[in-house]
Amino acid sequence: MENKREKETFAFTYSAKQQEEVQNIRKKYLPPEEDKMEQLRRLDGSVGQKGMIVSLTIGFFSTLVLGVGMCCVMVWDGLFIPGVIIGMLGIVGMISAYPAYLHITKKQREKLAPEILRLTEELLK
């Protein structure tokens, strides 16, 4: 009886092409696994992102303030002095955008430095 049961078993192996296709399908349904190099790239890219967003926002709104000041000076009568003051505030805001970027980026580098250094040490081994 045992010999008959052993003969009834069926074994099938996939070809290399089918194995690759099966692995690709399987990868789609597994949770994403981030390798160390990809994680290092992501962390390095995120260092300047926050500072860039803040500085662009400051620059954008400061440009609008400068524009309002220019409108006050050139279009509306009797608002020359307030227009100059508003325009100067806009210029000061635009000038402060780059130092804000540098400051925020420096803080982000200090915050992420230990993790980035740990990953680089692991990758260099």
Tens of pLDDT, residue by residue over 87-124, are: 999 999 999 999 999 999 999 999 988 988 888 888 88
In sequence order, the 6+-apart residues with CB closer than 8 A to the CB of 122 are: 36
Which pLDDT band holds residue 7 (cuts at 50, 70, 90)?
low
User: Which helix or strand (DSSP H or E) is residue 103 part of?
Assistant: helix 80-124
Question: Is pLDDT of 50 > 80?
Answer: yes
d(CA 100, CA 118): 28
What pLDDT score does 33 carry?
A: 65
pTM of the complete model: 0.66
Residue range 30-46: mean pLDDT, rounded: 80
Average pLDDT for residues 56-67, to the nearest whole number?
96
Query: Residues 47, 109: contact at Cβ < 8 Å?
Result: yes
Least confident of 35-39, 51-55, 82-86, 103-107: 35-39
